[in-house]
Amino acid sequence: MALHAFIFPGQGSQAVGMGRDLAASFAPARHVFEEVDEVLKQKLSKLMFEGPSDELTLTENAQPALMAVSLAVLRVLQLEGGISLERKAKLVAGHSLGEYAALAAAESFSVAETARLLKLRGQAMQKAVAPGIGAMAALLGVEFEAAREICRQAEANGEIVSAANDNGGGQVVISGHKTAVERAIDIAKAQGVKRAMLLPVSAPFHCALMAPAADAMAEAFANIPPRTPVVPVVANVTAAPTTDPNTIRDLLVQQVTATVRWRESVLAMTAAGIDSFIEIGAGKVLAGLVKRISPDATTHSIGSPADIEAILKVL
């Protein structure tokens, strides 16, 4: 029998129209979107369904929006499909903001709490660095240690650049001061890295420049502490499962400035016997990464009514 991990996508998976068919087809999905709209006092669902794209892509909108789609899918699986996360998933994990969706799925936070936390996280990350100061770039065809060495070589004049996401399959995202990131791109190309390109993001996530946002999250968790999840969560910072609320809180604070260790997380889940990864929410980014890290694993991406119908036959 397959052992499943439920995984939750991060920023970059958003697209105008996400969640629209779910809301049209299923009352539990509609209720999640209505609850998030209500909590945030904004018509986030309208922005998700209709755009404009540039507004949806804003960090403070994209983060709660992606979580809302993931939780809407999960609610439909639970309430219409009779799926119990506790019984069906051995582990949960998420990529960056997806870790919050994973924790909400595992009942560590309510949907309302998660929406508030992610709105704040998005705003704090946006405010942490003035526009134009920071940047992120993707290096393709490079292993993690080599990418870290490139970053070390590119740091100068007090400017920082570091590995932000170890996505696996030779894909590493780097983050830091724009000029240092540009130097790292030049070094990477000179060293024969297949592709190195700036990413269209509004802030340099998962690097030391995000320290003010980490402080903001530490403050937020004083008011909204996590509860013990019903399924262990594989944390981005440690690539290891945890169920301890204090550890979860500390790791979420660290996560703002730390590397997202996705490759190691997938390998850890595979080592724990997981052979089926079910991506819950918008897009198919994580399923693609899993396939590159653990080629033998089965993957499913569940974001539409048709996807839900198909996965209910599998689970």
Q: What is the pLDDT of residues 288-315, one digit of tens each?
A: 999 999 999 999 999 999 999 999 998 9
Query: What is residue 102's three-state secondary structure?
Result: helix
pLDDT at res. 202: 81
Task: Say whether pLDDT at 125 is over 90.
Answer: yes
The model's pLDDT over 187-234, given as tens digits with 9 standing for 90+, comes to 999 999 999 999 988 899 999 999 999 999 999 999 999 999 999 999
Q: What mean pLDDT, rounded, does the chain reach?
A: 97
Residue spans of alpha helices (H) in the chain: 20-25, 27-40, 44-50, 53-57, 59-79, 85-88, 98-105, 111-128, 144-154, 178-190, 211-223, 245-255, 262-271, 285-293, 305-314
Contact present, 209 and 176 (Cβ < 8 Å): yes
- Please give the biggest Cα pair distance in the chain: 57
Same domain membership, residue 228 and residue 196: no
Alpha carbons 290 and 301: distance in angstroms, whole number? 11
The question of whether 265 is a catalytic residue gets the answer no
Considering the domain architecture, whether residues 89 and 224 belong to the same structural domain is answered as: yes
CATH number, position 66: 3.40.366.10
DSSP conformational letter for 313: H
Same-domain status, 227 and 104: yes
**Residues 96, 235 share a domain:** yes
| Residue 12 and residue 80 in one domain | yes
> Averaged over 145-154, what is the pLDDT?
98
pLDDT at 149: 98
pLDDT exceeds 90 at position 286? yes
Nearest Cα residue to 279 out of 252, 307, 251: 307
Task: Return the amino acid letter for 283.
Answer: G
What pLDDT score does 200 carry? 85
Q: Looking at the structure, do residues 226 and 186 belong to the same domain, yes or no?
A: no
Last residue of some domain: 201, 225, 242? Answer: 201
241 and 119 in a common domain: yes
| Catalytic choice (4, 95, 177, 206) | 206
d(CA 154, CA 146): 13
Which tokens is 278 given?
């079910």
Q: Which domain holds residue 247?
A: 4-128+209-314
Q: Could you tell me if 27 and 168 lie in one domain?
A: no
From first CA to last CA, the distance across the chain in angstroms is 10
227 & 124 share domain: yes
Q: Is the pLDDT of residue 1 over 90?
A: no
- Distances in Å between the Cα of 266 and the Cα atoms of 121, 146, 175, 238, 281 are 25, 20, 22, 12, 18
Asked if residue 217 and residue 195 are part of one domain, the reply reads no
Segment 65-107, tens digit of pLDDT: 999 999 999 999 999 999 999 999 999 999 999 999 999 999 9
175 part of the active site = no
Residue 43 above 90 pLDDT?
yes
Question: pLDDT by residue (tens digit) across 170-188?
Answer: 999 999 999 999 999 999 9
Residue percentage of the chain with pLDDT more than 70 = 100
Q: What is the CATH number of the domain that holds 190?
A: 3.30.70.250
81 and 167 both lie in a single domain: no
* Number of domains forming the structure of the chain: 2
In the set 96, 108, 162, 202, the catalytic residue is 96
What average pLDDT does the segment 143-162 reach? Answer: 97
- One domain for residues 9 and 98: yes
Instruction: Tell me: pLDDT of 281 over 90.
Output: yes
